[in-house]
Structure 1
Amino acid sequence: MASAQEAEVQEEEIIYFEEEEKESKNALANVFKRRHNGYILMQSSFNVNNGPGFAQGSNFSINQLRVQLTGEILPGLEYDVRQRLNSNSVAEEIDNTSLATDWAYLTYTFKNNVFITFGKQWAAYGGYEFDATPTDIYEYSQILNWKEAFLTGVNVGYRWQAQEVNFQVTNAHTESIESFYGELPEDFIAAENPMNYAFNWNGDLLKGLFSTRWSYAVTNEGKEEYTKYLALGTKFNQPKWQITVDYHNSKEDIDRTGFATSIVRDMNDGEHAALRDTHYKSTLAKIDVQPHKGWNLFYQYSHEDVFAHDTSLGENAGWLETANRHYFGVEYQPFEEQPLKLFCTYWSNTEKYNDYFETSQINNNRMMIGFQYKWQFY
C-alpha cells in the first residue's frame, strides 16, 4: 500500500503533466493563430439617393460582406481565400469558380525573393483605386465598375527592397466568350486560347515619398483582336496628407470593358452585337488629409471618356459618353486598436452622351452614412 508521501508525489506529477499538456496545447494554439488568420470584412450604410439608376430614394444596405482566410502551410508556402457572402455563388464555365470567390490561391516564396502564385487571384492591374480593399471604396470609378478584377492563372513575381514586379498569365474571362459578350459580330472568330497577360510594377521611391501601382496588360480575345490596357497609379506621401492620381487607358478591338456596348444595347431593346474598336480613358485624382489622430478627410475627382468607332454606329461613331464625378468624405476611427471606421460621404455624378442617345445628360448623387469593419475571428 502506497504511503501518503508517495500518493502526494504521484498527485504532484499528475498536476505537473496536466499543466505541461495545457501549456503545450496553448503553444500549439498560438502557433496556429500566428500562421492562420480569419477575417470578416464588412461595409454597411444608410444611403440617400437622388436621380436615375437607384432602386429607391433611400435605403439601408450591406455594401460589402466578405470572409477571408490566410495562412502559412509550410515555411514559404502560403494560402489566401476570400469569398463574398452577398454575391452570386453559381460556378462559371471556364474556371469553375463563382463570382462570389474573389480569390483562392497558393503562393510559394523562394529564398531569392522570387514567388509564384497559382489559382484564382487579383488581376495584376495598376491603379490605387483598383489595389484598395473593397471596404475602403464607397463608389468605384466607371471603368473599374466594369472591369473583371479576379481571374484564374499563374503569377511570377520578384521583390527586392521596397520594389515588386509581377508577370501574370490568366484566363481572359471566368466564363466563355459567348456568355461574356452575348451577341457577337458575325465575322468575329474567338481566340483558340483566350488569355490575359499582365506586367505590373509596385514601386516605392525616394524613401516612400512616391509610390507606384503601374501595369500594362494585353488580352487575346479573338483572332487578331486584342485589348491593350495601361493603368498607372502614382501616390505622393506626406505624414498628414497624400495625393493619389490614377490613369487608365484601354483600347479594345472588341469591347471587353462592355460599358459602350451596354448603353448602345439599351437604345436598341438589348439587341446589338458587341461593339468593335472601343476606347476608354479615365483620370482620377484624390487627396486625403489627416487633421487629427483617427480622422481622415478626402476629396476625389474623376473624368472618364468612352469612344466607339464601330462602323455599325454610322455617323454616331466616335465619342459616346463623358462622366465627371466628385466625391467628398469624412472617416473616423474611434478606437486605435480596432479596425472600425465610421464614414459619411457625398458622391455626385454627371454623364453626358452624344446625339445617338435619347438622353443627353444624366445627373445623380448619393449621400452615405455608415461603417466599415475588419474583424479578425481567429
Structure 2
Amino acid sequence: MKKYFICCLIGYLPFLAFSQDEKQTNEGVFVFPDSLKSLIPINKQSLLRDVDVIFNSRMAYNSNFLEGNHTLSAFNVNQLRFEIKGKIHDKVYFRFRNRYTREPIPGNLDNISRSVDMAFIRLDLSPTTNLSIGKVCADWGGYEFDFNPIDILTYNDVIEYADNFLVGVGISHTFADKKNSLSFQVLNSRTKTYEEQYGSSSPPSISASEYPLALVTNWRGSFFKGKLETTYSYSFFNEAKGANMNYFAIGNKFNAKNFVLYYDFQYSDEDLDRKGIVSDIINSQYQYAAQDVLYVENWVMAEYLITPKINLLMTVMNSNHSWKGNPDSNGSSKLSTSYGLISTIQYMPFKDMNIRFYLAYTARKYDYTGYAERTFGVKDYITGLFGIGFVAPLLVL
C-alpha cells in the first residue's frame, strides 16, 4: 500500500478514493481493484522502498505564566513538520521537510518559503564523501541544534534567533576510522536581502554586501568507544560590507549506561547585530541596529532512563548579551543575561513506536544589568510554561 499513499502525497491529494467494488480479505487488508491505477509507472515503484514519509509532531496543552501569574492555557500544535526523504538512486538521496507552524513567506534572497526547513539532494561521491545542494541545515556544532526540533521544548537565545536553514552547497567526508568526519558548507548568510532584514534600522555607515555568504565548517568525533562524542564548528558570515559575524559552537556528549549528558558552548561575535536581542534592548535610545555585539551561551542537558518506559530530562541554559560597541564612555557593555530551566518527564508506552507522552515545566528569567535598566528603561521579568502532551516522529510510510 505504500506506493499508493506516496502517489497521493506527491499529487497533494487529501485522501484516497476507493471504488465501490473494493473488498477486504480475511487478514484485514484491502485488495485494490484493477481499475485503480498507480500514478507512478510499475518500473519506477521499486524506488519507493527507500522512501520514508514522516510527520514530526509535538502537541500539548500549555499553560503560560508571567511573573508567577497565569496568563493563558490552551491546546497548541507546537511542532508539525512534514518530511519525505530517501534514495532515488544508489548515489542520490533527497530530503524535504516543511514546517506548518510558520508562515510560508518566501525569502527575497533565496526565493524559497521560510517554512521549508530543508529541500536538497545529496550526491554520494564515494562511500565516505558526499555533496549536498539546496536548502540545507547549517552544520553548526552543538547538540541543542542537532536534535530534531520536536525534542527541544525551548531553545536558548542564539539558536532561537538565528537563520538555521539556508540555501547553498556542502561537502562532508568521513575518515577511515569512521569515528571522525569533517564538513564544509558555503551558504547564503540570510534568507532575506539586507534591505528587507534591516530596513530603516540599518546604520548609515553600513551598506549591503554583494556577496552575502556564510562559510561553515564542522568536525564530529567519537572517543573512548563512543562514551564521548563531539561536534565542533566555526562559521564566518559576511553580513554586510565591512560587517561580519564569527560564530563558534562546541558540543560535547557523554554516554553512560542509562545516562547521557550534553554540554554546548556558543560564541557569536557580530559586527552588526544579526540576532537583534541587543538592538531590541537599546531601541528606546538608538534607532539603528547595534554594532559590535557579543552573545555567549552555555547549554546543559541531562537525560536519565529510569525504566524502559520512563525517561527524565533536565536542561539548564544561560545566554549573555553584550554591546561592545556602546558609544557611552561611562556605560557598560554587558546589558542582559537570560536563564532557562526545563524539567521533563517522558512516558514511552510502546517498544516498537517512538511516541513519548510528556509533562514539562519551562522557567525563563531575563535579567538586565543596572546600567541597561537606568539607560534604556528595561525591567527584569520571569516567564513559565507548563505543558502536557506528546512528541513523536510519526513514520507513516
TM-score range, shorter chain: 0.7 to 0.9
What is the SS of the residue equivalent to 1:92? coil
What is the SS of the residue equivalent to 1:364? strand
Q: Indicate how the Cα distance of structure 1 residues 54 and 314 shifts in structure 2: closer, same or farther if over 3 A, else same.
A: farther
* Residue of 239, 264, 268 corresponding to 1:221: 239
Alignment of 1:332 with 2:355, yes or no, is no
CA distance in structure 2 between the aligned counterparts of 1:59 and 1:348, rounded to whole angstroms: 18
Alignment of 1:169 with 2:165, yes or no, is no
Q: Indicate how the Cα distance of structure 1 residues 319 and 344 shifts in structure 2: closer, same or farther if over 3 A, else same.
A: same
What is the SS of the residue equivalent to 1:102? strand
Q: What is the one-letter code of the residue matched to 2:93?
A: E
CA distance in structure 2 between the aligned counterparts of 1:316 and 1:365, rounded to whole angstroms: 32
Contact map agreement 2:63 2:70 (CA 8 A) in 1:
no
Q: 5+ residue gaps in structure 2?
A: 1-39
Counterpart of 1:189? 207
Alignment of 1:201 with 2:216, yes or no, is no
CA distance in structure 1 between the aligned counterparts of 2:288 and 2:171, rounded to whole angstroms: 36
Alignment of 1:85 with 2:97, yes or no, is no
> Normalization by structure 1: what TM-score?
0.88
What is the SS of the residue equivalent to 1:291? strand
Q: CA deviation at 1:112?
A: 4.5
Q: What is the one-letter code of the residue matched to 2:372?
A: Y
CA distance in structure 2 between the aligned counterparts of 1:300 and 1:308, rounded to whole angstroms: 27
Counterpart of 2:305? 290
Alignment of 1:119 with 2:134, yes or no, is yes
**How large is the Cα RMSD of the aligned pairs?**
2.4
Counterpart of 2:4? none
Alignment of 1:303 with 2:318, yes or no, is yes
CA distance in structure 1 between the aligned counterparts of 2:99 and 2:328, rounded to whole angstroms: 38
CA distance in structure 2 between the aligned counterparts of 1:304 and 1:274, rounded to whole angstroms: 19
**What's the CA shift string for 1:258-298, capped at 9, x where partnerless?**
21112323x35xx7211100000000111110010022101
Alignment of 1:373 with 2:389, yes or no, is no
Counterpart of 2:9? none
CA distance in structure 2 between the aligned counterparts of 1:238 and 1:29, rounded to whole angstroms: 45
* Residue of 255, 258, 262 corresponding to 1:240: 258
CA distance in structure 1 between the aligned counterparts of 2:193 and 2:125, rounded to whole angstroms: 35
Q: CA deviation at 1:54?
A: 11
CA distance in structure 1 between the aligned counterparts of 2:69 and 2:280, rounded to whole angstroms: 17
Q: CA deviation at 1:118?
A: 0.4
Tell which structure's C-alpha radius of gyration is larger: 1
Counterpart of 1:356? 372
Alignment of 1:148 with 2:163, yes or no, is yes
Q: Indicate how the Cα distance of structure 1 residues 331 and 28 shifts in structure 2: closer, same or farther if over 3 A, else same.
A: farther
Runs of 4+ in 1 over 6 A off after TM superposition: 27-30, 52-55
Q: Indicate how the Cα distance of structure 1 residues 331 and 30 shifts in structure 2: closer, same or farther if over 3 A, else same.
A: farther
Q: Indicate how the Cα distance of structure 1 residues 313 and 77 shifts in structure 2: closer, same or farther if over 3 A, else same.
A: farther
CA distance in structure 2 between the aligned counterparts of 1:374 and 1:364, rounded to whole angstroms: 28
**What's the CA shift string for 1:79-112, capped at 9, x where partnerless?**
0000012211121101111110001000011225
Alignment of 1:45 with 2:60, yes or no, is yes
Contact map agreement 1:241 1:290 (CA 8 A) in 2:
yes
Q: Indicate how the Cα distance of structure 1 residues 53 and 121 shifts in structure 2: closer, same or farther if over 3 A, else same.
A: farther
Counterpart of 2:293? 278
Contact map agreement 1:78 1:108 (CA 8 A) in 2:
yes
Contact map agreement 2:321 2:334 (CA 8 A) in 1:
yes
> Normalization by structure 2: what TM-score?
0.84
CA distance in structure 2 between the aligned counterparts of 1:317 and 1:177, rounded to whole angstroms: 29
Report the count of equivalent residues: 353
Alignment of 1:342 with 2:357, yes or no, is yes
Contact map agreement 2:336 2:372 (CA 8 A) in 1:
no
What is the SS of the residue equivalent to 2:167? strand
CA distance in structure 1 between the aligned counterparts of 2:67 and 2:76, rounded to whole angstroms: 18
Q: What is the one-letter code of the residue matched to 1:178?
A: E
CA distance in structure 2 between the aligned counterparts of 1:133 and 1:313, rounded to whole angstroms: 42
Q: Could you tell me the percent identity over the aligned residues?
A: 25
* Residue of 314, 318, 334 corresponding to 1:319: 334
Q: What is the one-letter code of the residue matched to 1:205?
A: F
Alignment of 1:254 with 2:269, yes or no, is no
Q: 5+ residue gaps in structure 1?
A: 1-24
